[in-house]
Amino acid sequence: MIPAAFEYYRPKDMTGVIALLDEHGDDARVMAGGHSLIPMMKLRMADIPHLIDLQDVSGLSEIDVSDSEICLGAMVTQSDIINNESLSSSAPILREAALQIADPQVRYMGTVGGNVANGDPGNDMPGLMQCLDASFVLVGPDGERRVPAREFYEAAYMTAREDDEVLTAVIIPKPSGGYAYEKQKRKIGDYATAAAAVQITKDGGSCTSASVAMTNLSDTPVFSEAACAALVGTAVDETAIKAAVDAMLGDIDPSEDNRGPVAFKKHVAGVILTRAIERAWSRA
């Protein structure tokens, strides 16, 4: 289908972006790579009278890796993540997840900012950012603020971002320990039936910290505190992993769709999380 008619803007700086958002209010939307928003517009699921393209705004495509944290500009693409050696060394789970998003053509254009800001429950990065305890930098007419990824998602396509704010960067505490991003999907390029992001640290043979987040199993990504607690202090053996899976299943709320009935999705979620925990533990 063809999108409804809209006005197109390509400002050169963030001041211009904020001014346009202030002028047009709810009728305006910001676009990064466009791979989440444009399909919705073409299907007439989103009516956007004023479309603001961020392609010409400088300073949004930087990757900065320091001793304590990682900063990804909103316009950093999945391909940028895959090909940045410093980032791959510091947070290899980002590359592992990015390689499982769609296909190379999409990854060359699809951005981190667009992936996390849209509130699409099927996107991979929101759950991953919850696992990594990331924060999102939002800029609006009143200045800048940070919102934790674990508090950002309110419902499907509903987030803590105000209509006159723009997500400009993602801040990630530098992760440590073992990691894994596991994803089950019907075919290349599809959204996940279920996906799991896991980070684990250990001391000797005992788990000292764990972070577990699930994707496309509720109307928001799910950070499972109960699954994390089930692993900490254990040797991450079969019993502990089963306890973590059971805890996670209590936190998700999948719905039936063309990827399968609820029972199937819960089964897949358990299998995927088991694999992710086992692989993260082996890397810890």
Output the domain CATH number for residue 129.
Answer: 3.30.465.10
Residues 167 and 185 in one domain: no
Residues 140 and 219 in one domain: no
Q: How much is the mean pLDDT over the chain? A: 95
Residue 165 lies in a domain: yes
Distance CA(104)–CA(155), nearest Å, equals: 29
Residue 1 lies in a domain: no
What range defines the domain where residue 205 resides? 178-283
Residues 262 and 188 in one domain: yes
CA angle 90, 93, 97 (to 5 degrees): 140
Residues 208 and 249 in one domain: yes
How confident is the model at residue 61, as a pLDDT?
A: 96
Residues 161 and 209 in one domain: no
Count of Cβ atoms closer than 10 Å to residue 9 Cβ: 17
How confident is the model at residue 255, as a pLDDT?
A: 96
How confident is the model at residue 259, as a pLDDT?
A: 94
How confident is the model at residue 128, as a pLDDT?
A: 98
Residues 145 and 107 in one domain: yes
Residues 21 and 69 in one domain: no
Residues 80 and 96 in one domain: yes
Residues 162 and 218 in one domain: no
- For 224, how many CA atoms within 13 A lie in the half-sphere containing its CB? 32
Residue 58 lies in a domain: no
How confident is the model at residue 192, as a pLDDT?
A: 96
As for how many domains the chain has, the answer is 3
Residues 228 and 254 in one domain: yes
241 Cβ neighbours under 8 A, 6+ residues apart: 231, 274, 277, 278
pTM score: 0.94
How confident is the model at residue 155, as a pLDDT?
A: 97
How confident is the model at residue 43, as a pLDDT?
A: 77
Residues 84 and 138 in one domain: yes
Residues of the chain with confidence (pLDDT) below 50: none
Residues 178-204: pLDDT tens digits? 999 999 999 888 899 999 999 999 999
Residue 2 lies in a domain: no
How confident is the model at residue 253, as a pLDDT?
A: 98
How confident is the model at residue 99, as a pLDDT?
A: 96
